[in-house]
Amino acid sequence: MIKSKVFSKKDMRLLKRSFSYVTKYKSRFFILLFSMILIIVFGIVQPLLWGKIIQDLSEKNYKSIFTNLVYVLLVYLFQSFISFIKGYNESILNNNIVYDLKSDMYIKILNFSMNVFDKVQVGEFISRLQGDVSVLANIVTSQSVNIIINIMKVIILCIVIFKINITLSLIVLATFPLMYILFLVFGKKLRKENNSFKKLNDKYFSIVQQSLLGIKHIKTYKMKESNYKAFINNISEIKTKDIYISLLQNISQVISQIVSYLNNIIVIGMGIYFVSKEKLSIQYFIAFISYSGQFSSSLMMITQFNSQIQQVLVSLERIFGLIDNSDFPAELFGDKEVEKLKGNIEFKDVSFSYDKDMEILKGISFKISNNKFTAIVGKNGSGKTTIFNLLLGLYKVTSGEILIDGININDLNEKSIRNNISVVNQQQFLFNMSIKENLKLAAPNASVEEMEEACKIVSIHDYIMSLEEKYDTTIDENSSNLSGGQKQRLALAMCILRNTPIILLDEPTSALDNESENVVNTAI
């Protein structure tokens, strides 16, 4: 049994919300819409002109033929100009919507809880940012306008063809119920398959991203074969799924075309009969054939739009699920703001676990006074890094409380925590940009002199100055052009530039040789 309800209320809300991204560019959208309407008008005028030319040719009215050819040329010129306006506005609208969507999504990703990044593959975020956004922008700017235009075109052409001949028009309209049934039958199936395809695509991005970042590990541990096999299995599944979706779309399209072709043959046959009985002129017969073709084509496009809208509904669920934090929880902070903390830290009966089955900290209590160097000693896995993660607000305690200057860390806003704490990790991450730009990320207002002074303190300034591009030297991806000691010294320079009351050093010398360790310890 076929349900008459094409879209659910949730679908309609998603579609309505997607068009909210057009609001700030509504003038562009209306120019795009108006240009499409003009193209429809030109499409209606052309068949009448060509019909008149053929009619005049049969009557040997050559003067009228020349005049109408001039009109046809003018119509083509205007149509070309309007097509240019349409294409240009469509490009601007599309790129602006992509920009706005990516901007909204990316800031949300940056604000996700660390628990999200622990569980969700990075490839899924890349897939949503890239693939889903492009699909949505295309549907809003191009496909939606086309569907509006095609609906208008169907209505206008329906009126026009009925004016020419009622019997032939009824034959043309007979295809509509069949097209509507196709719309319903294939819609639900395409929605389900597109959702499955998106998940496979998420996995693809994750495999590629993880493999390229871990290429050294893959090579040294002889994992190329297994990694390649995982990649091949994934792209094989994507290929199979994409072919199947294409098959469904093509079956829908072929059935639509067959119905349309049969309808056209019947219309032409009946039209010839009416011309032979002088119930229809050659001019209007030619015009009607053109209009009925446009009518059937527009009707078929409306039907095919179903597969596109089902695909975009999947993307919309993924986009707004991310933006609304319904799929992924955001970081939670308090609303209390403190410009400068002193740095007195207290853990009161703190317990924490990343996983419910394994508790990392259990009833931990201690105090750390400000302006002191305090070491936390313990074996691997005892929770030293976890204590830092909790202090940084990356995770929330399971029970107990953490106080900074007597204030519960859960009451402080993000700015108060992050502006007052710096950290140097065991493996420091540096961005694939210049040394100066990396230092600027830590302290945006730092002057060149301040950056150089910080680097002198940690004994890396001389090395930087020995480089060809000095502070403008680009740090390679994964910091491969820096040694472990150099990375740690740069990290310490960033801490100096930030000048925070709390500095967390997470075993910064554990992976260094003796010489580098001594240099870093001296800097500390």
Those residues whose C-beta lies under 8 Å from the C-beta of residue 261, and which sit 6 or more positions away, are none
Report whether 454 contacts 414 (CB < 8 A): no
Are residue 299 and residue 344 in the same domain, yes or no?
Answer: no
Residue 507 falls inside a structural domain: yes
Looking at residue 4, what is its pLDDT? Answer: 40
Q: What is the spatial distance between Cα 453 and Cα 521, in angstroms, rounded to a whole number? A: 18
Are residue 207 and residue 288 in the same domain, yes or no?
Answer: yes
Q: Judging by DSSP bridges, how do beta strands 407-408 and 345-352 pair with one another?
A: unpaired
Domain boundary among 323, 342, 359: 323
Those residues whose C-beta lies under 8 Å from the C-beta of residue 473, and which sit 6 or more positions away, are 434, 435, 464, 467, 481
Are residue 159 and residue 235 in the same domain, yes or no?
Answer: yes
Residue 64 falls inside a structural domain: no
Looking at residue 2, what is its pLDDT? Answer: 37
Are residue 446 and residue 342 in the same domain, yes or no?
Answer: no
Are residue 151 and residue 276 in the same domain, yes or no?
Answer: yes
Are residue 166 and residue 297 in the same domain, yes or no?
Answer: yes
DSSP type of residue 330 = B
DSSP type of residue 21 = G
Q: What is the spatial distance between Cα 164 and Cα 280, in angstroms, rounded to a whole number? A: 8
Residue 47 falls inside a structural domain: no
Residue numbers of the domain that contains 395: 334-413
Are residue 183 and residue 280 in the same domain, yes or no?
Answer: yes
Looking at residue 491, what is its pLDDT? Answer: 87
Looking at residue 403, what is its pLDDT? Answer: 92
DSSP type of residue 364 = E
Structure tokens at 59: 């009557």
Are residue 295 and residue 346 in the same domain, yes or no?
Answer: no
Are residue 100 and residue 199 in the same domain, yes or no?
Answer: yes
Structure tokens at 324: 């609304």
Q: What is the domain-level CATH number for residue 126? A: 1.20.1560.10
Are residue 231 and residue 361 in the same domain, yes or no?
Answer: no
User: What would the DSSP string read from start to end of 391-452?
Assistant: HTTSS--SEEEEEETTEEGGGB-HHHHHTTEEEE-SS----SSBHHHHHHHH-TT--HHHHH
Those residues whose C-beta lies under 8 Å from the C-beta of residue 511, and which sit 6 or more positions away, are 426, 427, 484
- pLDDT tens over the chain, length 524 residues: 334 445 677 777 877 787 788 888 888 888 888 888 888 788 778 877 887 788 778 777 878 888 888 888 888 888 888 888 888 888 888 888 888 888 888 888 888 888 888 777 777 788 788 777 877 777 777 677 777 777 888 888 888 888 888 888 888 888 777 777 777 777 777 777 888 888 888 888 888 877 877 776 677 667 778 888 888 998 999 999 989 888 888 887 788 778 878 888 888 888 888 888 888 888 788 888 888 877 877 777 776 666 567 667 777 888 888 888 777 778 888 899 988 889 899 999 999 888 777 788 888 999 998 888 888 888 877 788 888 889 888 888 889 999 999 999 999 998 898 889 888 887 778 888 899 998 998 888 889 999 999 999 888 899 999 989 999 999 887 777 888 888 888 888 988 898 889 988 887 766 666 776 777 677 77
Domain count, the chain: 3
Residue 38 falls inside a structural domain: no
Are residue 311 and residue 348 in the same domain, yes or no?
Answer: no
Are residue 354 and residue 286 in the same domain, yes or no?
Answer: no
Q: What is the domain-level CATH number for residue 344? A: 3.40.50.300
Domain boundary among 274, 290, 323: 323
Report whether 175 contacts 295 (CB < 8 A): no
Residue 62 falls inside a structural domain: no
Residue 481 falls inside a structural domain: yes
With CA atoms as reference, report the closest residue to 496 among 464, 457, 467.
457
Looking at residue 510, what is its pLDDT? Answer: 66
Query: In a 3-state reduction of DSSP, which class is residue 344?
Result: coil
Domain boundary among 294, 323, 352: 323
* 466 exposure class (CB count in 10 Å sphere: 0-12, 13-18, 19+): exposed
